Amino acid sequence: MAQRPTPDPGPDGPAPDWRALLAALDVDDEPPPGTSRRRWRRTRRRAARRERADAVAAVRNRPMHPAAVLLVLVLVLILGTVARCGGKTTGGDDRPPAAAPSSPAVAPAPPAPLLSVPADTGPNDVAEAWVRAYLSRDPLTDGTHQASARRAAPWATDDLTRNLTEEQPPGWGRQVSRGEATKAGAVTARPAGPDLPPDNAAQVWRAVAATLTVTGYETTQRTDTLNVEITRTTSGWRVSRVLGV
């Protein structure tokens, strides 16, 4: 049988025999006379640990091969180049890009102060003023449907204003999605039809037609008609009910 070739010990001498060092930990030969077996084992283990530490230090102090040194230098140069070039932006400007200016948020318009309606204002004038204020809306500046109801509040009872601020009127969602603003122009009140109660000293019904200019994707005009009840209160005539909203 051919013998296995003996590895070249190299310029630093033969490599340490790790198996021999590990076996030294388990050496259990007879202690010298007058020495206990336990103390002898501790002495042998300390000697083996010292020999192993000396062998590890010899391996660490062995000079590195020139090819390994060259490989380490090449890796350091490559990593340094990547670190310098990785964060560069086009044109060599390494400053962070400026944030795009954001559009300022449009705050809802503050509520207008309530007007004082003279107590002797007639029911027709009250109905026309209320419809003109209630149907004039702009989602961009109003923010919510409640703004127009509050603007019309001086010509309405408190109960009606409260109900209208709690309930969203038909068409408000379409106005918001299309960005449409409505402004009432000519407003005319006339007696309501026979299907509504006749006038009396405390209540009257009026059909109020308002010409609205609608501004959005395009500018158009339409006419909306609301049937409103006007009730005599201690403050004068006030709109108390409305049909069609």
CATH number, domain with residue 198: 3.10.450.540
As for how many domains the chain has, the answer is: 2
**Domain presence at residue 108:** no
Three-state SS at 22:
helix
The two tokens of residue 108 are 């809802």
What integer pLDDT is reported at residue 103 of this predicted model?
44
Residues 53 and 133 occupy one common structural domain: no
Residues 52 and 164 occupy one common structural domain: no
Three-state SS at 121:
coil
**Domain presence at residue 118:** no
Residues 173 and 226 occupy one common structural domain: yes
DSSP assignments along 54-117, one per residue? HHHHHHHTSPPPHHHHHHHHHHHHHHHHHHHHTTPPGGG--SPPPPPPPPPP-PPPPPPPPP--
Residues 217 and 157 occupy one common structural domain: yes
180 DSSP assignment: -
27 DSSP assignment: -
Residues 133 and 215 occupy one common structural domain: yes
**Domain presence at residue 172:** yes
Tell me how far apart the 2 most distant CA atoms of the chain are, in Å.
136
**Residue-number span of the structural domain to which 28 is assigned:** 18-79
Residues 131 and 245 sit within 8 Å (Cβ to Cβ):
no
- The tens-digit pLDDT sequence of the chain (245 residues) is 555 555 555 555 555 555 655 555 554 567 777 777 777 778 878 887 887 777 767 766 766 667 777 777 777 778 777 666 654 544 545 555 555 554 444 454 455 555 788 989 999 999 999 999 999 999 999 999 999 999 999 999 999 999 999 999 888 998 999 999 999 999 999 999 899 999 999 999 999 999 999 998 889 999 999 999 999 999 999 999 999 77
Residues 177 and 235 occupy one common structural domain: yes
What integer pLDDT is reported at residue 90 of this predicted model?
47
**Domain presence at residue 215:** yes
Q: Is the pTM of this model over 0.75?
A: no
**Domain presence at residue 137:** yes
The two tokens of residue 136 are 């004039």
Strand order in the sheet with 236-243: 181-191, 203-215, 219-233, 236-243
Q: Which of 26, 57, 79 is the last residue of a domain?
A: 79
Residue written as token pair 């380490």 = 72
Residues 69 and 134 occupy one common structural domain: no
Residues 140 and 37 occupy one common structural domain: no
What integer pLDDT is reported at residue 104 of this predicted model?
47
Residue written as token pair 């989602």 = 139
Q: Any alpha helices (H) in the chain, and if so which ranges?
A: 18-24, 37-60, 66-85, 123-135, 139-142, 146-151, 158-166, 172-178
154 DSSP assignment: G
Q: Which of 43, 62, 79 is the last residue of a domain?
A: 79
**Domain presence at residue 181:** yes
What integer pLDDT is reported at residue 35 of this predicted model?
73
